[in-house]
Amino acid sequence: MILITGATGQLGRELVRLATARAEAFTAVSRPAFDLASPDSIAAAFHACAPALVINAAAYTAVDAAESDIAAARAGNHTGPAHLAALCHAADIPLIHVSTDYVFDGNKGAPYVETDPTNPTGIYGQTKQDGETAILGSGARTIILRTAWVYAGHGKNFARTMLTVGAKMPALRVVADQRGTPTAAGDLAAAIFAIIDTLRRTGWQAQYQGIFHATNAGETTWFGFAQEIFAQAALFGGPAPALTPISTAEWPTPARRPADSRLDGTKLGQIFAVTLPPWQASLPPIVASLMTL
Could you tell me if residue 101 is left (phi over 0), alpha (psi between -120 and 50 degrees) or otherwise beta?
alpha
**Catalytic, out of 112, 124, 151, 208:** 124
In CATH, the number for domain 2-156+181-219+263-279 is 3.40.50.720
Distance CA 222, CA 151 (A): 13
Domain extents in the chain: 2-156+181-219+263-279
Q: What is the pTM of this model?
A: 0.96
Backbone angles phi, psi at 283, to 5 degrees: -70, -45
Output the pLDDT for position 293: 65
Q: Is 150 helix (H, G, I), strand (E, B) or coil?
A: strand
> What is the residue-level pLDDT of the chain in tens, covering all 293 positions?
999 999 999 999 999 999 999 999 999 999 999 999 999 999 999 999 999 999 999 999 999 999 999 999 999 999 999 999 999 999 999 999 999 999 999 999 999 999 999 999 999 999 999 999 999 999 999 999 999 999 999 999 999 999 999 999 999 999 999 999 999 999 999 999 999 999 999 999 999 999 999 999 999 999 999 999 999 999 999 999 999 999 999 998 999 999 999 999 999 999 999 999 999 999 999 999 998 86
Establish whether 124 is a catalytic residue.
yes
Strands (E), 166-264: 171-175, 179-180, 183-184, 210-213, 220-221, 242-246
